[in-house]
Copies of this chain bind each other. A is one copy, B any other.
Amino acid sequence: MGGNMRERIRAAGHDVVGYDPRPEISDAASLAELVEKLAAPRVVWVMVPSGVTEDIIEQLGGLLSAGDIVIDGGNSKFSDDGPRAEKLGALGIGYMDVGVSGGVWGVSNGYALMVGGDKKHVDHCMPIFEALKPEGEFGFAHAGPVGAGHYSKMVHNGIEYGLMHAYAEGYELLKASELVHNVPEVFKSWREGSVVKSWLLDLLDRALDEDPELANIKGYAEDTGEGRWTVEEGIRLAVPMNVIAASLFARFTSRQDDSPAIKAVAALRNQFGGHAVKR
């Protein structure tokens, strides 16, 4: 956590103790010591890779006391939140899920926070949220009950997939055009005055400043859980998702050395039309 945020949280009357398995950046030697060092009622903000969240939260259930609160600020699936809240609630421990957006820029810009949980827990932790969120009127929402924070973050990321791919398709078309000679300049021009101005556009311009042809980047993109879950939720709730699904599928395609589907298409074209296949 950036020094500034830590100080702002402290200024708001919450002490801050950090735990990390790497001793050199940890204030406590163990989760148990972390809990010990915090005065009750404690708020423990868990921000760990999704694979270990469940384990950490279970450990915390054994270490914390009634009246304490656990916050999961990681990228958990929304459907994991309810069961956790129930288990901790049986011990009198509160639970909130917080979707956190902002990427590596959040340290300086503040993070957008989408919170799921009980109003009393939200109110209690509001000084912490105030310290983490951007200054000004935006950047925070109490989205609904437990689960709603991660759900909102999931949809946020789904939208992000679609936004990124819309710019990406436009980029590819401009690159392919015979007329537009100065593609990075055109993207840069949109940063002010245009309908498509956005922070993602600013970042794309930044990337093009560093590497105008994106020559050092391979067309290969990972995806994380949120994009997939968004489309799955679209399917569950019968919400058409052509744009977000297409942007997800494009990433899948980008990671294939060869497409089995197109092999089948090529095989068919060869069968009925005698069209040559590449071998």
Tell me what chain A mostly uses at the interface: helix, strand, loop, or mixed.
Answer: helix
Q: How far is the CB of A260 from chain B (nearest CB, A)?
A: 4
Q: How far is the CB of A102 from chain B (nearest CB, A)?
A: 5
The segment from A43-51, A85-93, A189-197 that touches chain B is A189-197
A169-B158, A242-B250, A264-B171 known; A228 vs B234 contact (CB < 8 Å)? no
On whether the beta carbons of B240 and A235 are closer than 8 Å, the reply is: no
On whether the beta carbons of B237 and A168 are closer than 8 Å, the reply is: no
Most buried by B among A114, A147, A155: A155
Q: How far is the CB of A107 from chain B (nearest CB, A)?
A: 11
Q: How far is the CB of A179 from chain B (nearest CB, A)?
A: 4
Contact of A260 among B78, B171, B262 (CB under 8 A): B171
On whether the beta carbons of A78 and B151 are closer than 8 Å, the reply is: no
Q: A188 to chain B: which residues have CB within 8 Å?
A: 138, 141
A34 at the interface (CB under 8 A from B): no
On whether the beta carbons of B260 and A214 are closer than 8 Å, the reply is: yes
CA separation between A254 and B265, bound complex, in Å?
A: 11
Contact of A218 among B148, B172, B245, B263 (CB under 8 A): B263
On whether the beta carbons of B279 and A255 are closer than 8 Å, the reply is: no
Q: A134 to chain B: which residues have CB within 8 Å?
A: 192-193
A114-B189, A134-B193 known; A206 vs B156 contact (CB < 8 Å)? no
A141-B186, A143-B181 known; A235 vs B232 contact (CB < 8 Å)? yes
CA separation between A175 and B258, bound complex, in Å?
A: 13
Number of residues of chain A lying within 8 A (CB) of chain B: 136
On whether the beta carbons of B239 and A173 are closer than 8 Å, the reply is: yes
The segment from A5-13, A66-74, A270-278 that touches chain B is A270-278
User: Which residue of B has the minimal Cβ distance to A216?
Assistant: B279
Q: How far is the CB of A40 from chain B (nearest CB, A)?
A: 30
Contact of A214 among B175, B234, B263 (CB under 8 A): B263
Q: Which 9 A-B pairs have the closest CB atoms?
A: A162-B166, A198-B198, A141-B189, A112-B194, A112-B193, A242-B246, A219-B259, A218-B278, A219-B262
Q: Other than the known A168-B261, A250-B261, what 10 A-B pairs have Cβ atoms closer than 8 Å?
A: A113-B189, A143-B181, A144-B179, A148-B180, A155-B177, A169-B241, A200-B268, A218-B279, A232-B235, A240-B253
16 CB < 8 A contacts A-B: A111-B193, A138-B192, A140-B189, A145-B179, A163-B167, A164-B268, A165-B265, A203-B271, A219-B259, A219-B262, A221-B265, A232-B235, A239-B252, A242-B245, A254-B259, A254-B265
